[in-house]
A and B are shown apart, each in its own frame.
Chain A
């Protein structure tokens, strides 16, 4: 069966520090991969999505970047965090377009 792992679960980082959040999927190949951010009590904002290695689309101009070094690995990064980067970050995968998303348990990021 397929599983998705996202870590860390919580993270407290000072302003200006770098960020690296990892997400890996097991049990499937060539998944679509997604990074979403959720502000407290709000909906999900799509940050990045990838339909394959070296195929990453950015949805919102921001202080973040994404990479997909392996087929089932998706990394969210920042060189210098801002206070506004605080939020709940969710990684997800789907088998193909128009199919359901499967989410990780999320990373709660607090930038202080």
Chain B
């Protein structure tokens, strides 16, 4: 079964609002990553948070990680229409070389 599950599956907001996406996973991890995918394109890496970190920022992105709950959240502040995309979390199960992706959240930002 999949390592990561995101919710909500879809999110629609207005420009300027904040968008929050959540990710849950099942096994112990070394790190958790968030990716963005524009329609019909490859994924682009956004941010990586290690298992010993609780929060990380990159520009308008804020990621939190709660290893006790096996969950993470991605917050996009002051959203823009250009943020419209699908967002995926990905985790690496400890002791493996593979990165497993969640089901993704489709974000629509209306101008």
Interface size on A, residues (CB 8 A): 28
Total contacts A-B at CB 8 Å: 60
**Chain A contact surface mostly:** strand
Q: A97-B92, A98-B30, A100-B33 are in contact. Are A106 and B98 (CB under 8 A)?
A: no
| Complex CA–CA separation, A6 to B99 (angstroms) | 20
| Complex CA–CA separation, A34 to B98 (angstroms) | 9
**Chain B contact surface mostly:** strand
Shortest distance in angstroms between B95's beta carbon and chain A's nearest beta carbon? Answer: 10
Residues of A bordering B, CB below 8 Å: 6, 32, 34, 36, 41-44, 46, 49, 51, 57, 59, 88, 90, 92, 94, 97-106, 108
Shortest distance in angstroms between B36's beta carbon and chain A's nearest beta carbon? Answer: 11
| A90: chain B residues within 8 A (beta carbon) | 42-43
| B43: chain A residues within 8 A (beta carbon) | 44, 90, 92, 101, 103
Interface size on B, residues (CB 8 A): 24
Lowest 5 CB-CB distances: which A-B pairs, in order? A103-B42, A100-B45, A43-B103, A44-B101, A103-B43
